Amino acid sequence: MARRVVITGMGAVTPLGLNVATTWEGLINGRSGAGPITRFDPTGFETQIACEVKNFDPSNYLDRKEARRMDRFTHLAVAATREALDDANLAITPSNADDVGIIIGSGIGGIETLSQQFKVLFDKGPERLSPFLCTMMIANMAAGHVSIVFGVRGPNHCTVSACASGAHAIGEAFETIRRGAAPVMLAGGAEAPVVPIGIGTFNSMRALSTRNDAPEKASRPFDLDRDGFVIGEGAGIVVLEDLDHARGRDARIYGEVIGYGATADAVHVTAPSEGGSGAAKAMARACAEADLLPSAIDYINAHGTSTPLNDRAETAAIRSLFGEHAYRIPISSTKSMTGHLLGAAGAVETIICVLTIQHGVIPPTINQEHPDPECDLDYVPNVARRAPVRVALSNSLGFGGHNVSLIVRAWEP
């Protein structure tokens, strides 16, 4: 019999705050994390805004020497992991280290380090490259460094599936526990893409908003006037446990992961499948694994990037699976406030689903000013809404046609 998997700890570093509580407070108050780019001089770039993590000092979480040998995306992952472990009241010791695993996704990995070292290569030659370039750059190093910092020796790997990476990580960690490979998994995603080449490449494909004069209005999922996503940085980590293990240590349980669906569009590197068919199948598979009818879903945290194609396709996918119930489900895109955290998005948004269940408050989709007739569902416009939520679904869709849906449920002994 498959094991039940519960959530016992959560950690997040986002453009809205350096922890889960501050992030949640920003979300329910409809606060945008967007602003002018400060991590580099964006003069000459079409997009000069982003959702940056503010006032983050890695030395608050790491030894300074260690920190210098890590990229920013790894700093963010370590910080979120530290909060999640503290929240779960879970100490890693020699006696349990082999039983705890890690899966941390990242769509891009250490792009800041890579871009800086390319400049060193061209300006000063190969002999001046950092010996830590490789181990700072590669996408698995968030998982690798987290295991080293905290002494975690169980299953350890990285998911790389663009904007679905963090959701894939949680889904695969869920399956790892269900099949008995580990009783505890740390899972989530981390990303730090606010660098010149990150902004430049998304500008070149016309994916980013260029609403530089009003950053807080730029991310507007499902709104008729949306013109692209606002890139963001951050990390989200959850502690997942086998139910018996969690009970055995008298852990506080936030909720239960009950469904994971993953599909591929197999159509285009960036455009979603016609009518969102791939996303609809991912949601259907998650519902089937959870043994739920689609009508049992009380809330959807949408992928909702604020790009024209994505928002229309996701809306169509929800309509196709849920039918008339689609018009009764509250749906929000919290990317309207956090921006798009790429590989970290699905992890942070899973945490948001858990908090929605915990608090009975649904975060809004801000900047809903001119409804798109093709996006005609209930997106909880502009103001948070009090409502009981027992079962929540989170969607993550990535370049390459990757689709992931995760379902979490209120904890019921």
Residues belonging to the active site? 163, 303, 340
- Collect all residues with Cβ–Cβ distance below 8 Å to 393 and sequence separation of at least 6: 259, 283, 286, 287, 297, 299, 300, 301, 353, 405, 406, 407
By three-state DSSP, how is residue 300 classified? strand
Q: For residue 257, what is the enclosing H or E element?
A: strand 255-264
Cβ atoms of 356 and 389 closer than 8 Å: yes
By three-state DSSP, how is residue 407 classified? strand
User: Which residues share a beta bridge with 184?
Assistant: 100, 241
- Collect all residues with Cβ–Cβ distance below 8 Å to 65 and sequence separation of at least 6: none
Cβ atoms of 405 and 172 closer than 8 Å: no
User: Of 162, 202, 223, which is closest to residue 37 (Cα–Cα)?
Assistant: 202
Q: From CA 392, how far away is CA 372, in angstroms rounded?
A: 24
Q: What is the DSSP string of 192-214?
A: ---SHHHHHHHHHTT-B---TT-
| Secondary structure of 45-95 as H, E, C letters | CCCCEEECCCCCCHHHCCCHHHHHCCCHHHHHHHHHHHHHHHHHCCCCCCC
- Collect all residues with Cβ–Cβ distance below 8 Å to 143 and sequence separation of at least 6: 77, 102, 103, 104, 156, 157, 158
Q: From CA 343, how far away is CA 153, in angstroms rounded?
A: 24
Q: From CA 63, how far away is CA 53, in angstroms rounded?
A: 20
